[in-house]
Amino acid sequence: MSNLRRVVAHLASFLQFFLLFGLLTGCQSGSEPGSEDLNGHSLTDRVIVIDGLGRELSFTSPPSRIVSIAPSATEILVAAGGLDRLVGVTNVDDYPPEIAGLPVFSALPLDIESVAAMDPDLVMASDQVNDPNHVELFTALGIPIFYQEAGSWAGIRSALLDVSMILGTEDVARKTVDSLDARISALKQMTSSAEPVTGIFLVSDVTSYSFGQGSYALDLMEWAGITPLTREFDTPAPVLSDEWVLMANPDVIIGTFGDGFTIEDLLEHHPAWSSLDAVRLGRVYAVDGDSILRPGPRNVLAVEQMARLVFPEYFTTERTDR
Amino acid sequence: MKKELAILLGLLTLVLPVLATGVALGPVSLPFAFSMQTIVDALMGQAADPTDRMAQIILQIRLPRVLTSFTVGAGLSVVGVAMQALVRNPLAEPYVLGISSGASAGASLFYLGFLPAFIAARIDITLAAFLGALVSISIVYVVARGGGSLSVSRLLLAGVALASFMAAVSSFVTFASPDLNRMRAVLFWLMGSFSGITWSDLPTAVIVTVVGTLVLISQSRSLDALLTGEEPARSLGVRVEGLKKVLIVLAALVTGVLVSISGAIGFIGLIIPHSIRSLVGVNHRFVLPGSFLAGGLFLVLADTISQVILPGQQIPVGIVTALAGVPFFLYLLRRSDYQFK
> For B303-319, what is each residue's pLDDT tens digit?
999 888 887 677 778 88
**Chosen from A35, A113, A115, A141 to mutate, greatest number of chain B CBs within 10 A:** A113
Residue A244: inside a domain:
yes
Quote the minimal CA–CA distance from B284 to chain A in Å. Answer: 26
Structural domain boundaries enclosing A264: 193-314
Percent of chain B topping pLDDT 70: 93
Residue B288: inside a domain:
yes
Q: Does any CB of chain A come closer than 8 Å to the CB of residue B29?
A: no
Residue B341: inside a domain:
no
Amino acid at B214: L
Q: Is the peptide bond before A96 cis (omega within 30 degrees of 0)?
A: yes
By C-alpha distance, the chain A residue nearest B26 is A113
Instruction: Please tell me the number of Cα atoms within 13 Å of A129 on its side-chain side.
Output: 19
Q: Does any CB of chain A come closer than 8 Å to the CB of residue B311?
A: no
Regarding whether A302 and A249 lie in a shared domain, the answer is yes
Quote the minimal CA–CA distance from B144 to chain A in Å. Answer: 32
Regarding whether A128 and A200 lie in a shared domain, the answer is no
Quote the minimal CA–CA distance from A246 to chain B in Å. Answer: 22
Regarding whether A155 and A97 lie in a shared domain, the answer is yes
Regarding whether A149 and A98 lie in a shared domain, the answer is yes
Q: What total number of domains does chain B contain?
A: 1
What confidence category does residue B189 fall into, taking pLDDT thresholds of 50, 70 and 90? Answer: low
Regarding whether A206 and A164 lie in a shared domain, the answer is no
- The CATH number covering residue B36 comes to 1.10.3470.10
What confidence category does residue B183 fall into, taking pLDDT thresholds of 50, 70 and 90? Answer: low
ipTM: 0.71
Which residues on B lie below 8 Å from A31 (Cβ)?
A: 50, 56, 60
Q: Regarding predicted confidence, which is higher, B337 or B216?
A: B216
Residue A13: inside a domain:
no
Q: Does any CB of chain A come closer than 8 Å to the CB of residue B147?
A: no
Regarding whether A40 and A141 lie in a shared domain, the answer is yes
Structural domain boundaries enclosing B307: 2-334
- Do B140 and B98 contact (CB within 8 A), yes or no? yes
Q: Which pLDDT score, from 0 to 100, does residue B165 have?
A: 93
**Beta partners for A200?**
A253
Contact check, Cβ <8 Å, B199/A8: no
Phi, psi of A200 (to 5 degrees): -130, 155
Q: What total number of domains does chain A contain?
A: 2
Regarding whether A225 and A163 lie in a shared domain, the answer is no
Q: Which of A234-238, B4-8, B169-173 has the highest mean pLDDT?
A: B4-8
Q: Does any CB of chain A come closer than 8 Å to the CB of residue B176?
A: yes
Q: Which pLDDT score, from 0 to 100, does residue A53 have?
A: 94
Query: Is a pLDDT exceeding 50 seen at residue B175?
Result: yes
Q: Select from A118, A153, A168 the last residue of a domain.
A: A168
Regarding whether A301 and A217 lie in a shared domain, the answer is yes
Q: Which pLDDT score, from 0 to 100, does residue B184 have?
A: 58
Regarding whether A102 and A219 lie in a shared domain, the answer is no
Regarding whether A252 and A203 lie in a shared domain, the answer is yes
Residue B249: inside a domain:
yes
- Report the alpha-carbon distance of residue B142 to residue A278 in Å, rounded: 55
Residue B164: inside a domain:
yes
Q: Which pLDDT score, from 0 to 100, does residue B151 have?
A: 76
Q: Which pLDDT score, from 0 to 100, does residue A12 have?
A: 43
- The CATH number covering residue A121 comes to 3.40.50.1980
By C-alpha distance, the chain A residue nearest B173 is A235
Instruction: Please tell me the number of Cα atoms within 13 Å of A170 on its side-chain side.
Output: 5
Interface of B with A in 73-112 (CB under 8 A): none
Residue A117: inside a domain:
yes
Average pLDDT value over all residues in chain B: 86
Query: Is a pLDDT exceeding 80 seen at residue B187?
Result: no
Contact check, Cβ <8 Å, B199/A16: yes
- Report the alpha-carbon distance of residue B173 to residue B195 in Å, rounded: 23
Q: Does any CB of chain A come closer than 8 Å to the CB of residue B171?
A: no
Regarding whether A303 and A215 lie in a shared domain, the answer is yes
Q: Which pLDDT score, from 0 to 100, does residue B148 have?
A: 66
Angle at A77 between CA A124 and CA B196, to 5 degrees: 15
Contacts of A268 (CB under 8 A, 6+ apart): none
Tell me, rounded to whole angstroms, the distance of Cα B322 from its chain centroid. Answer: 14
Taking residues B24-51, what's their average pLDDT? 87
- A 10 A CB-CB count for B49 gives 12
Which residues on A lie below 8 Å from B314 (Cβ)?
A: 106, 109, 111
Contact check, Cβ <8 Å, B60/A23: no
Quote the minimal CA–CA distance from A92 to chain B in Å. Answer: 11
Q: Does any CB of chain A come closer than 8 Å to the CB of residue B115?
A: no
Query: Is a pLDDT exceeding 90 seen at residue B115?
Result: no
Which residues on A lie below 8 Å from B180 (Cβ)?
A: 128, 236-237
pLDDT along chain A (322 residues), means of 10: 44 40 34 41 74 94 96 96 96 93 88 93 92 90 94 94 96 95 94 91 88 90 95 85 91 92 91 92 93 93 95 73 46
Regarding whether A209 and A134 lie in a shared domain, the answer is no
